[in-house]
Chain A
């Protein structure tokens, strides 16, 4: 049996409520370091809610209450006293719809490092921008127009710009919430290649509706249904020989 990487993120009895409505029920899920974990499941099953707990993005929603534990490297992050700014510096996020800032490509990337005090000088910032764009496989396409607005790029380029923006603060984890759902197949292929490359450096969690994508990019897959983690395991196993009947039904397209 192939050796599994170390556990990076560990959730224990995680419950999430939106007002009266409970969105997650006792989720226990381990995510491994330098590996891609895909979360699949029908719409509204709580997979996005789950990854938004990892960088405490749910704090933004007033009515959202989170109970239970999430640990990163053994440190509890679901803690009121935790500084979310430094957490989000370690846990980057890419959203469903590309959301570059309406600023230049350069400013999009340099914003994160600037607010975290990385890259004191212009040349350091230049280097961070270049490296981030290179890692996001966007450098060749935009190196001559860094001062043009990021919103002027194509959808796929915008999404890679957002990935570069997430990388720019040198996080440990990157959360991706259906990063390809707004993109065409060619742009999707590029992002998937990129994810494959990025997993050498980062721990990646990706929410996806495309089971083919989960198979292509992930090593581990978790299946959510109605707020519960139904089954989790190696991607190969989940798609070839799931233990649970419901997982079987979902991946074969009988519901969802």
Chain B
């Protein structure tokens, strides 16, 4: 081979390699785009809900309430009759079947919505007010264009009469799309139109908080001890190997462990963020220790020697000099570990967080759901409305993860820049 041929071959090899690299990046980006597009196109509509404008008449006789009534009395009062009366006024129904069909257009929580409006303004007795009553899941999906209205009647849940009402409502603009505050405020529900991630958000928040409070101090102190103080011998080698192994243990194993020890033996309340937090902390510990030790190891030994040489004790050299320098790496490692814990599903399913919980937990020992488990739960539901809710929950989860990862990068860069 001549020199020119060899040179050409070398250049070609380089070009080929560049091409392979670019192709891989292109494919990776393509898949990310497909994923993101899929989630966004399905999920973005969940942030809006369909509501029908209804004129509600707080009839004194039907309500049997006097002005100046107390809150407890209102909560106990029966708003069912005025609800039915108000809803039926939306469209003329000829018989009982048609009346039922009309009522079905609204959420089952219509009575509660009417009661809540009254709670806000108790002077409404005997007065009329226009309220936006949430539509049922089917109408919601129909209005968002996700419902196949071209199917023959016997194969759809919405009857021809209901379609007729819907079209009339669209015609006179009494049906609207509003911001879906239920999605953020409410707990889980069997009815997609009023189901929300409120409970899952609070549950995830408590779980991660407990995970952080347990895992961070333990992981940081363990890393400092192992890296700076522990004698280098077979026992510490053994511990190091096992920490690395633990980081690779499938998360479901931690779920089994928690099931046996936390739930069966210690008998902590199941389905609670407390147990979830402890389980996630166990799982996250090695995942924080590893980056934490790496960032301690990255502090140059000359800094330790410098401190020791002016007469600092081992403890002082570590805590005055090494730990502050390792802190950015430690923090970002912790945040990434927490981000992983936030997205963890399998161990939480095993400790019973997969239970159907309607109430929003007020303490970490209340039964609760969590964001990834909520995704799992809704992805199994048949109702059309849960499809968009599943994707919207994934969007929320992803945005939390992105925020946390950015925070990790930001912290690392901010504190490392200071002295360079």
Name the prevailing secondary structure of the B interface residues.
helix
- Interface flags for B295-313 (1: CB within 8 Å of A; 0: not) read 0000010111111111111
- Interface flags for B211-232 (1: CB within 8 Å of A; 0: not) read 0000000000000000000011
- Interface flags for A89-121 (1: CB within 8 Å of B; 0: not) read 100110101011111000000011001100000
In the bound complex, residues from chain A placing their C-beta under 8 Å from that of B313 are 85
Q: Are B305 and A165 in contact (CB under 8 A)?
A: no
Of A57, A102, A151, the contact of B309 (CB 8 Å cutoff): A57
The reply to whether the CB of A166 lies closer than 8 angstroms to some CB of chain B is yes
The reply to whether the CB of B174 lies closer than 8 angstroms to some CB of chain A is no
In the bound complex, residues from chain B placing their C-beta under 8 Å from that of A169 are 310-311
The reply to whether the CB of B318 lies closer than 8 angstroms to some CB of chain A is no
In the bound complex, residues from chain B placing their C-beta under 8 Å from that of A111 are 307, 310, 312, 320
Say yes or no: A88-B320 contact (C-beta < 8 A), given A101-B303, A102-B325, A102-B419.
no
Q: Are B300 and A115 in contact (CB under 8 A)?
A: no
CB distance from B16 to the nearest CB of A (A): 43
Q: Are A88 and B308 in contact (CB under 8 A)?
A: yes
In the bound complex, residues from chain B placing their C-beta under 8 Å from that of A166 are 309-310
The reply to whether the CB of B321 lies closer than 8 angstroms to some CB of chain A is yes
Q: Are B232 and A62 in contact (CB under 8 A)?
A: yes
Interface band, chain B: 20 to 34
In the bound complex, residues from chain A placing their C-beta under 8 Å from that of B325 are 102
The reply to whether the CB of A168 lies closer than 8 angstroms to some CB of chain B is yes
In the bound complex, residues from chain A placing their C-beta under 8 Å from that of B232 are 62
Complex Cα gap A100–B302 (Å): 9
The reply to whether the CB of A162 lies closer than 8 angstroms to some CB of chain B is yes
Q: Closest residue to A100 on the B side, CB-wise?
A: B306
Q: Are A62 and B231 in contact (CB under 8 A)?
A: yes
Of A55, A95, A165, A168, the contact of B302 (CB 8 Å cutoff): A95
CB distance from A136 to the nearest CB of B (A): 14
Say yes or no: A102-B310 contact (C-beta < 8 A), given A62-B231, A111-B320, A149-B419.
no
Q: Are A151 and B419 in contact (CB under 8 A)?
A: yes
In the bound complex, residues from chain A placing their C-beta under 8 Å from that of B320 are 111, 115
Q: Which of B300, B305, B306, B313 has the most CB of A within 10 A?
A: B306
In the bound complex, residues from chain B placing their C-beta under 8 Å from that of A86 are 311
The reply to whether the CB of B316 lies closer than 8 angstroms to some CB of chain A is yes
Total number of A-B contacts with CB less than 8 angstroms?
A: 69
In the bound complex, residues from chain A placing their C-beta under 8 Å from that of B321 are 101
Complex Cα gap A149–B305 (Å): 19
- Interface flags for A43-86 (1: CB within 8 Å of B; 0: not) read 00000000000010100101000000000000000000000011
In the bound complex, residues from chain A placing their C-beta under 8 Å from that of B304 are 60
Q: Are A168 and B305 in contact (CB under 8 A)?
A: no
Q: Which of A60, A116, A149 has the most CB of B within 10 A?
A: A60
Of A99, A100, A115, A151, the contact of B316 (CB 8 Å cutoff): A115
Complex Cα gap A242–B7 (Å): 59
Of B231, B306, B420, the contact of A99 (CB 8 Å cutoff): B306
CB distance from B191 to the nearest CB of A (A): 59
Complex interface residues of chain A between 137 and 177 (CB less than 8 A to chain B): 149, 151, 162, 165-166, 168-169
Q: How many residues of A contact B (CB 8 A)?
A: 29
In the bound complex, residues from chain B placing their C-beta under 8 Å from that of A89 are 310-311
- Interface flags for B74-88 (1: CB within 8 Å of A; 0: not) read 000000000000000
Say yes or no: A92-B231 contact (C-beta < 8 A), given A101-B321, A102-B325.
no
CB distance from A12 to the nearest CB of B (A): 24
Q: Are A92 and B310 in contact (CB under 8 A)?
A: yes
CB distance from A216 to the nearest CB of B (A): 25
Complex Cα gap A89–B308 (Å): 10
Q: Are A60 and B302 in contact (CB under 8 A)?
A: no
CB distance from B314 to the nearest CB of A (A): 9
Complex Cα gap A87–B308 (Å): 11
CB distance from B193 to the nearest CB of A (A): 57
Q: Are B306 and A95 in contact (CB under 8 A)?
A: yes
Q: Closest residue to B320 on the A side, CB-wise?
A: A111
Q: Are A57 and B305 in contact (CB under 8 A)?
A: yes
Complex Cα gap A58–B306 (Å): 13
Q: Are B310 and A168 in contact (CB under 8 A)?
A: yes
Q: Are B305 and A60 in contact (CB under 8 A)?
A: yes
Complex Cα gap A87–B312 (Å): 11
CB distance from B412 to the nearest CB of A (A): 15
Complex Cα gap A87–B307 (Å): 14
Q: Are B310 and A99 in contact (CB under 8 A)?
A: no
Of A60, A149, A165, the contact of B310 (CB 8 Å cutoff): A165
Complex Cα gap A100–B309 (Å): 12
Q: Are B308 and A162 in contact (CB under 8 A)?
A: no
Q: Are B231 and A95 in contact (CB under 8 A)?
A: no
Complex Cα gap A86–B174 (Å): 85
Complex Cα gap A162–B313 (Å): 18
Task: List the 4 closest pairs (A to B, CB-CB), nearest first.
Answer: A99-B302, A112-B310, A93-B309, A102-B419
Give me 7 A-to-B residue pairs in the complex whose CB atoms sit less than 8 angstroms apart, sorted by A's number.
A55-B309, A57-B308, A62-B232, A88-B310, A93-B309, A115-B311, A149-B418
Besides A57-B308, A57-B309, A115-B316, 17 new A-B residue pairs in contact (Cβ under 8 A), listed by A number = A57-B305, A60-B308, A85-B311, A86-B311, A92-B310, A93-B309, A95-B302, A97-B302, A99-B306, A100-B306, A101-B306, A101-B307, A102-B419, A111-B310, A115-B311, A165-B306, A165-B310
Residues of A within 8 A of B (CB): 55, 57, 60, 62, 85-89, 92-93, 95, 97, 99-103, 111-112, 115-116, 149, 151, 162, 165-166, 168-169
